Amino acid sequence: MNILILTNTFSPHVGGVARSVTAFTEEYRTRGHRVLVVAPEFPDMPQHEVDVVRIPAIQNFNASDFSVVLPIHPPLTDTLDAFRPDVVHSQHPFLLGMTAVRIARRRGLPLVFTHHTLYERYTHYVPGDSPALKRFTIELATRYANLADQVFAPSESIRDLLQQRGVVTPIAVVPTGVRLEHFAHGDGPAFRRQMGIPEDAFVVGHLGRLAPEKNLEFLARAVADFVGSQPHAHFLVIGSGPAEAAMRDVFARAGLEARLHVAGILQQQALADALHAMDVFAFASTSETQGMVLTEAMAAGLPVVALDAPGAREVVRDRHNGRLLHEATPAAFSAALQWVASLDAGSVRGLKQAALDTAEAFSMPRSADRALACYESLKPGKAAGSGADVSAWEEVMTAISTEWDILKSVAGAGDAALGTRLFPEKED
């Protein structure tokens, strides 16, 4: 099968969507499928990429680590004619997501959309953030989903939320799977020595983009409270981003700077080593659609303490493979970390085994099986190719219809956000 993926974020950007696209792409190719990825340019991106088309983009949009594709980009027609996709998979409802709609309609191909993100939690990256803008992003994503033939939700919580918001397109729950072999083995003691963490320390760990929407100041306060009560406790953070300063400030005000260790962005074996240097994984984000870093931590045998939120509640079972907290206070979170730290060796082994079993249930092969089964159920009888068998008039009418649907989607989202009806909802 030839799978076309369009994404607004991709390697070397470090984030959930980029990692998801990379993981699925690698798994599909391992199974003999061809995958063509269309993505923006990023600084320091690989020089020689196979079956990746890069689109010129504005870098570090609004002081973030995101790239924003330019509205005019090189035509993809010749590349797509040669590739002959069977299915178009969009990862976003805007920018290259709109290009995905045009490609699918023009070529008579099924369009799949993964609703990776609660976009209303990210509007602070856009100038003019407001409640109306948050409503607009919700409406735009919902209406975009209804332009697709199949929607992938990363978790049951997000599937239910999308249905409540009015998505009528069929929704399949397809989380990004974890590569168990990437996290099964690591040299934790060596990583502790590298970071200056004592061998006998109890290490609370965290992995992720250090961004405001990840609730990291809350996490820092909770972990600082725990670390302050435990002379041998340390906090190891893997990642980078604008929230790092706030986290350091929390520990500095508590007089605990020496027990906060920020290792920056790590990949491959270094990441596995860092996870194996931890005793428990702490996660306080409420903006996730799935618990990708949670399953990675569990693949390293780590119990998890997390707030009850979409993504986390599908992965963490309270007192089975960690703690899932309904009370979102630093004191409750600190107490949960204390609960893990106070367990006897046998109970800790039970938590770790349960974590490993959970990671197995979220393995990459299982997730790829679900995705490929959906592709197969949607795939046309033959590849659409260049559309040479479609008359010029039909092509023009398809293009007009597609642009009209996109315009209705965007304008309708704006109407809903502003509480107006300037654009007719039911007009065809």
What tens digit of pLDDT does each residue of 286-332 get?
A: 988 888 899 999 999 999 999 999 889 999 999 999 999 999 999 99
What mean pLDDT is predicted for residues 91-118? 91
Q: Give the span between the Cα atoms of 210 and 386, in whole angstroms.
A: 43
CA contacts within 13 A on the Cβ side of 328: 11
| Cα angle, residue 100 at apex, residues 156 and 178 outer, rounded to 5° | 40
pLDDT higher than threshold 90 for residue 71: no
Q: CA nearest 224: which of 252, 253, 251, 202?
A: 251
Q: Give the span between the Cα atoms of 13 and 22, in whole angstroms.
A: 11
The predicted-structure confidence for 329-387, as pLDDT tens digits, reads as follows: 999 999 999 999 999 999 999 999 999 999 999 999 999 999 999 999 997 654 334 34
Q: CB burial class (10 A; 0-12, 13-18, 19+) of residue 376?
A: exposed
Q: Are 250 and 218 in contact (CB under 8 A)?
A: no
Q: Give the span between the Cα atoms of 229 and 222, in whole angstroms.
A: 11
Structure tokens at 13: 């950007």
What mean pLDDT is predicted for residues 11-31? 88
pLDDT reported for residue 57? 65
Determine which of 60-69, 95-104, 198-207 has the lowest per-residue pLDDT on average. Answer: 60-69
pLDDT reported for residue 46? 81
pLDDT higher than threshold 70 for residue 65: no
The predicted-structure confidence for 228-280, as pLDDT tens digits, reads as follows: 999 999 999 999 999 999 999 999 999 999 999 999 999 999 999 999 999 99
The residue ranking higher by pLDDT, 389 or 186, is: 186
Please, which residues have CB within 8 angstroms of residue 356's CB and are 6 or more apart in sequence?
A: 298, 299, 301
What mean pLDDT is predicted for residues 152-163? 93
What mean pLDDT is predicted for residues 3-25? 88
Task: Give the range with max mean pLDDT: 6-20, 51-65, 379-393.
Answer: 6-20
Q: What is the CA radius of gyration of the chain?
A: 23
pLDDT reported for residue 287? 83
pLDDT reported for residue 212? 86
pLDDT reported for residue 140? 85
Residue 11 confidence class, pLDDT cut points 50, 70, 90 = confident
Q: Give the span between the Cα atoms of 281 and 322, in whole angstroms.
A: 9
Residue 76 confidence class, pLDDT cut points 50, 70, 90 = confident
Cα of 121 vs its chain's centroid, Å: 13
Structure tokens at 9: 């974020």
**Domain architecture of the chain: domains with CATH:** 2-177+365-418 (3.40.50.2000), 180-362 (3.40.50.2000)
The predicted-structure confidence for 382-425, as pLDDT tens digits, reads as follows: 433 434 444 444 444 454 555 555 555 555 555 555 565 434 44
For residue 267, what are the CA distances in angstroms to 168, 255, 351?
38, 31, 25
Q: Are 288 and 309 in contact (CB under 8 A)?
A: yes
Please, which residues have CB within 8 angstroms of residue 369's CB and are 6 or more apart in sequence?
A: none
Q: Which helix (H) or strand (E) holds 87?
A: strand 87-90
- Mean pLDDT rounded to a whole number for the chain: 86
The residue ranking higher by pLDDT, 83 or 408, is: 83
Q: Are 280 and 249 in contact (CB under 8 A)?
A: no
pLDDT higher than threshold 70 for residue 112: yes
Q: Give the span between the Cα atoms of 59 and 46, in whole angstroms.
A: 16
Structure tokens at 134: 């948050």
